[in-house]
């Protein structure tokens, strides 16, 4: 099975990641990794850090001549801002110069709880690891898995449906046409927008909302729409709780910093309807032996893929650092104080959608590997193709 780990602080020398369990024989290019890192850094409303960092990954192990070799892949991403933090973030000897401790937590952030949990007298260590800067390493690691899935005919894509008050609940007219080409076609279209929205009018409203929030020292969150195409029926399991694919996908998405809600399809909207308005009816006799006119289940039934497009939605809360700070207190003096201000974005929803694509990839890949097994790509694809043929045969009886 594929698993990955990340390490590094926001202002440390570098971020790093180790990806274990990738099958051998997957062709990987530097562009496969770095393109995803560039996508993560885009988006209207990003802060000054994106002007400093130009994320590029260095592969230290696990590849030979552009192919995975079955051993762990390790990657490193340099933090260019490290030179300005070398004293404040020195790994060994404490510098002679006085470095003021941060003792005023930000509401909505890990600051206060992390400080108490780990016994710190300074919030800086919490800020450094809890920071969403860590997601650069996750995107780099999971980009490898996206390539693996692409080799198996599985694509992951996304767009942003709302930012703050801006956005439409109805699908864009071009949505179905793009999705029919595969989820990556949807992603490419979204990437042409500075806020990763499909409709120009929504983009204009979102940009205006971000400008207004920035002017007021505030922040904005939004809704991410994630789609996975080409997934065969029957991945996942209803047999044990830790093999339920919907739970694994939800866990992956909600692990992203600032994501506070996940739904499969339009789950919360469906909760207010009757069963006859929600469940996707089945119709036999089509070319593929099965037809569904709707996909309200979001591609998952009984915690397994049902052959339809997987649709997930993630809600990202507004970023916790406000330039017009909220009320807090100084944990040293226990006196009221406005919260600490750390360099931050006004809105990072477009970046979050790229991260969502990334973290979903290992979940789907592991569900695939549980079904097919195999240690190298050719072996896995042979078994997957045989399984696809079996599904087609059984549904055409």
Query: Tell me, what's the pLDDT at 170?
Result: 60
Q: Please state, in angstroms and rounded to a whole number, the distance separating the CA atoms of residues 26 and 346.
A: 38
SS (H, E, C) 184-207: HHHHHHHCCCCCCCCCHHHHHHHH
CATH of the domain at 10: 3.60.150.10
> How sure is the predictor about 171, in pLDDT bands with cuts at 50, 70 and 90?
low
Q: What is the pLDDT of residues 261-276, one digit of tens each?
A: 999 999 999 999 999 9
Q: Does residue 246 contact residue 303 with C-beta atoms inside 8 Å?
A: yes
What share of the chain in percent tops pLDDT 90?
Answer: 84
Q: Please state, in angstroms and rounded to a whole number, the distance separating the CA atoms of residues 308 and 363.
A: 17
Residue 126 lies in domain? 3-395
- Residue 216 tokens read as 């007021």
| Total tally of structural domains belonging to the chain | 1
Q: What is the pLDDT of residues 97-149, one digit of tens each?
A: 788 899 999 999 999 999 999 999 999 999 999 999 999 999 999 999 999 99
Query: Tell me, what's the pLDDT at 307?
Result: 93
User: Kind of pairing, strands 73-78 and 67-68?
Assistant: unpaired
Helix (H) / strand (E) containing 54: none
């Amino acid at each position: 099975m594929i698993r990955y780990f990340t390490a590094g602080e926001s202002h440390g020398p570098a971020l790093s990641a180790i990806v274990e369990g990738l099958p051998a024989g997957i062709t990987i290019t530097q562009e496969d990794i770095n393109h995803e890192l560039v996508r993560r850094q885009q988006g209207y409303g990003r802060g000054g850090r994106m002007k400093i960092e130009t994320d590029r990954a260095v592969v230290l192990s696990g590849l030979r001549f552009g192919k995975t070799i079955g051993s762990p892949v390790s990657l490193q991403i340099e933090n260019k801002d490290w030179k300005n933090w070398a004293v404040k973030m020195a790994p060994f000897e404490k510098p002679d110069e006085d470095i003021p401790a941060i003792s005023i937590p930000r509401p909505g952030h890990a600051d206060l709880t992390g400080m108490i949990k780990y016994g710190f007298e300074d919030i800086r260590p919490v800020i450094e690891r809890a920071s969403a800067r860590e997601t650069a390493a996750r995107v780099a690691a999971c980009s490898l898995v996206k390539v693996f899935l692409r080799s198996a005919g599985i694509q992951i894509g996304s767009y942003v449906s709302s930012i703050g008050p801006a956005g439409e609940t109805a699908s864009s007219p071009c949505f179905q046409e793009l999705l029919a080409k595969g989820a990556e076609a949807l992603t490419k279209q979204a990437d042409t927008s500075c806020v990763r929205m499909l409709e120009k009018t929504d983009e204009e409203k979102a940009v205006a909302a971000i400008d207004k929030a920035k002017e007021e020292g505030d922040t904005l969150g939004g809704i991410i729409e994630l789609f996975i195409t080409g997934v065969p029926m029957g991945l996942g399991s209803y047999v044990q709780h830790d093999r339920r694919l919907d739970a694994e996908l939800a866990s992956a998405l909600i692990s992203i910093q600032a994501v506070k809600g996940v739904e499969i399809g339009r789950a919360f909207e469906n909760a207010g309807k009757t069963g006859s308005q929600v469940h996707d009816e089945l119709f036999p006799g089509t070319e593929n032996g099965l037809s569904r006119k709707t996909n309200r289940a979001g591609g998952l039934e009984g915690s397994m893929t049902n052959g339809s497009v997987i649709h997930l939605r993630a809600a990202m809360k507004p970023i916790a650092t406000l330039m017009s700070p909220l009320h807090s207190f100084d944990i040293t003096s226990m006196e009221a104080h406005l919260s600490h201000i750390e360099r931050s974005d006004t809105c990072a929803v477009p970046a979050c959608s790229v991260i969502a694509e990334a973290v979903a990839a290992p979940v789907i890949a592991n569900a695939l590997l549980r079904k097919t097994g195999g240690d190298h790509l050719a072996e896995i694809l042979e078994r997957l193709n045989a399984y696809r043929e079996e599904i087609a045969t059984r549904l055409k009886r």
